[in-house]
Structure 1
Amino acid sequence: MKKIVALLIAAGVSLSAFAAPDTFVSDVNHTFSSFGYSHFGFSNQQSRFNSTTAKVTLDRAAKTGSVEATIDAKSVDTGSKLFDGHIQGEQFLDTAKFPTITYKSTKVNFKGDVPSTVDGNLTIKGVTKPVTLTITNFKCAEHPMAKKLACGANATATIKRTEFNAGAYAPNVGDEVTLSFAIEAIKE
């Protein structure tokens, strides 16, 4: 065995290149998505979805990965039941017909040893558009409570809601929506 390891090292092959990808499942208590938009220019409103799940596969040695996330659109939380109802209505998310929002990556891009952006497809109201998430924070380490490898990240993107057939009252209610995601996931 020592000879095989020595031969691999001599050939310039890293043993980490043979590591399998790790799969992580989101911690539902620490994974949320939120959105912000201009309301008639008076203020930037911030709201969130209370139920977001995700599965992340990451091979840090090969610098590859994938992300699949599902947002329960009916879990929208604006802080006002009246506005929750408006956003779930046909003019915006139409949650009766489209109860979920999904994101599926096509490529995870690395800068050095950490993921920096994720290219993928966002589906809202049955409309799918390419969206790139910019990762603003990333960390993998042993989770102090779960005693397993965990990864966490924050990511953002800006979309135009009119492109997803959710453009009621635009431009008075801002067309540009900033999406923010916070995820903590534990290795399966």
Structure 2
Amino acid sequence: MKNILTPVLLAIISSTAAYADTYKLDPDHSNARFAIGHFGTSTNHGGFYNLTGDITVDPQRGTGQLKVIIPVASVNTGNQQFNEHLKNADLFNVEQFPTMTFASTEWNYVDGMPQQVTGDLSLLGVSHPVTLTATQFNCYQSPMFDGATVCGGDFEAVIDRSQWGMDYLVELGIPKEVKLSIQVEAVKQ
């Protein structure tokens, strides 16, 4: 009996492990963007580019892992002077903190698709939990990667920037609330 169970258990473990697929972020199709009010008149937008990281997706078990590394110096608002101000010590302090990261701690699936990803956002040397909501997610065979499977989606959250010590101009009317949108596409490894 022992000899029969061992191969069966190994087959079950192997087939279960096969469900978890690992993907490497494609920096050309991954970015993090932000939107923040500007004295109640308009909304400033900007983004970070050339993101790196990995995703592991396991819809069978309802789990996953996402690690995104965001190079802060890549910030782009379309205005060079504003870009440089965002990089200084008043805001993102690129010299001391060149990257921010998001590392997932929990995934929530509905019908085999990720709906929310909770994790730790590290910014300015401080980490706080953030829950990103998936606004879309899909996997497809990519003609750009010789038919390799690519999975990704759009995720968003509203965060309170003051939790990370980014209080610049809060007392003068710039909101604490920032809409954060993260777009990731990753190639199966």
Q: Normalising by structure 2, report the TM-score.
A: 0.88
- Who is 1:33 aligned against? 32
- Who is 1:162 aligned against? 162
Q: Distance in 1 between matches of 2:51 and 2:108?
A: 23
- Provide Cα deviations, 1:46-105, integer angstroms capped at 9, x if missing partner: 110122122100112222110000100011101111111111111111111000000111
- Who is 1:187 aligned against? 188
Task: Answer yes or no: is the 8 Å Cα contact 1:47–1:77 preserved in 2.
Answer: yes
Q: Secondary structure at the match of 1:92?
A: coil
Q: What fraction of aligned residue pairs are identical, expressed as a percent?
A: 34
What stretches of structure 1 of length at least 5 have no aligned partner? Answer: none
RMSD of Structure 2 on Structure 1 (CA): 1.7
Q: Secondary structure at the match of 2:85?
A: helix
* Count of residues paired in the alignment: 177
Q: Distance in 2 between matches of 1:181 and 1:68?
A: 12
Structure with higher helix content: 2
Q: Distance in 2 between matches of 1:85 and 1:144?
A: 37
What stretches of structure 2 of length at least 5 have no aligned partner? Answer: none
Give the alignment of 1:56-75 within 5 angstroms.
56-75=55-74
- Who is 1:95 aligned against? 94
Ranges of 4+ aligned residues in structure 1 off by more than 2 Å: 15-20
Check 1:46–1:145 CA distance in 2 against 1; reply closer, same or farther (3 A cut). Answer: same
- Who is 1:108 aligned against? 107
Task: Answer yes or no: is the 8 Å Cα contact 1:34–1:181 preserved in 2.
Answer: yes
Task: Answer yes or no: is the 8 Å Cα contact 1:19–1:61 preserved in 2.
Answer: no
Q: Secondary structure at the match of 1:106?
A: strand
Task: Answer yes or no: is the 8 Å Cα contact 2:27–2:49 preserved in 1.
Answer: no
Task: Answer yes or no: is the 8 Å Cα contact 1:117–1:132 preserved in 2.
Answer: yes
Q: Normalising by structure 1, report the TM-score.
A: 0.89
- Who is 1:151 aligned against? 151
Task: Answer yes or no: is the 8 Å Cα contact 2:152–2:185 preserved in 1.
Answer: yes
